[in-house]
Amino acid sequence: MKKVFAAVLVMIFVFAAIASATVIKLPDPAFDGTMSLERALYLRRSIRDYTDQPLTLQQLAQLLWATYGISEPEQKLRTAPSGRRAYPLEVFVMVSENGVVGLEAGVYQYDAIEHSLKQILKGDVRAQLARTGSAAIGVAPISVIIAADMEKAAQVLGNPDVAPKYVYLEVGHAAQNLYLQATALGLGCVVTAGFRAEQAQAVLKIPEKYTLIYITPVGYPKQ
């Protein structure tokens, strides 16, 4: 009995260690930048060609926070508006080999509440993801993926017929945040929706309950 109990404890510690090792706490975002909103709007462009310069973890943290992070901790309000505060979106990021300084290649899920990343897939899947529909994905160091929990949206809104409309509006708000923050950081990006969703979801190992809507490659613009 003691041996069984000891074995169970060892397994618990092992699983706990594995879980904790896959969670990366992100640097705090900056709430004041060096570029005005007006300037970012003026400079915003869709960029499809990038250098191989990696991003920093601070830049990645800033991009994810701007996209869909927490802007008011007590009420857990986000940087993007949401009908009835449903917040049905989930943000993932695909990191290529040497795409972010100090971060292992793979796919991560962004936890806005904790401002952290949880790795859901190890390895560089950039080439496979690019083959699902966009060449820009294949040359960017990272791609930010916005997906939605349609069932959650329908439950909170109380009407499954209008839920998709609200979700797509919210995705647009979040994507514009990403565009403007990338511009303010001297980066470029382009939203892509013309990808083969089932194949992309399989490559990224994103749970089936989420609907993939946008894949946005991000990187330093190639001059």
Which positions ≥6 away from 114 have C-beta within 8 Å?
25
pLDDT above 60 for 14: no
Q: Which helix H or strand E contains 146, and what residues bound it?
A: strand 142-148
Average pLDDT over residues 171-183: 99
d(CA 91, CA 113): 12
Residue with tokens 């109990």: 5
Domain membership of residue 7 (yes or no) is no
Which positions ≥6 away from 70 have C-beta within 8 Å?
76, 77, 78, 79, 112, 113, 115
Domain membership of residue 10 (yes or no) is no
* Distance, CA of 213 to chain centre: 12
pLDDT above 80 for 13: no
Split at pLDDT 50, 70, 90, the class of 223 is: confident
Q: Which helix H or strand E contains 147, and what residues bound it?
A: strand 142-148
> pLDDT per residue over 83-121, tens digit each?
999 999 999 999 999 999 999 999 999 999 999 999 999
pTM of the model: 0.90
For 41, the domain range is 24-219
> pLDDT per residue over 59-86, tens digit each?
999 999 999 999 999 999 999 999 999 9
Residue with tokens 């399989």: 202
Domain membership of residue 140 (yes or no) is yes
Mean pLDDT over each residue of the chain, to the nearest integer? 93
Domain membership of residue 17 (yes or no) is no
Split at pLDDT 50, 70, 90, the class of 12 is: very low
Q: In this predicted structure, what is the pLDDT of residue 22? A: 85
Structural domains of the chain, count: 1
Domain membership of residue 144 (yes or no) is yes
* Distance, CA of 10 to chain centre: 34
pLDDT above 70 for 4: no
Split at pLDDT 50, 70, 90, the class of 139 is: very high
pLDDT above 70 for 196: yes
Q: In this predicted structure, what is the pLDDT of residue 11? A: 41
Q: In this predicted structure, what is the pLDDT of residue 16? A: 42
Domain membership of residue 18 (yes or no) is no
d(CA 204, CA 41): 31
Domain membership of residue 19 (yes or no) is no
- 3 or 13: which leads in pLDDT: 3
Phi and psi for 110 in degrees, rounded to 5?
-85, 125
- 79-96 burial code (b ≥16 CB/10 A, e <16): bbebbeebbbbbbbbbbb
Domain membership of residue 38 (yes or no) is yes
Split at pLDDT 50, 70, 90, the class of 179 is: very high
CB 117 within 8 A of CB 106: no
d(CA 128, CA 137): 10
SS3 of residue 88 by DSSP: coil
pLDDT above 90 for 29: yes
Q: Could you give the C-alpha distances from 104 to 20, 33, 142, 211, in angstroms and in order?
A: 15, 28, 12, 25
Q: In this predicted structure, what is the pLDDT of residue 50? A: 99
Q: What is the CATH number of the domain that holds 53?
A: 3.40.109.10
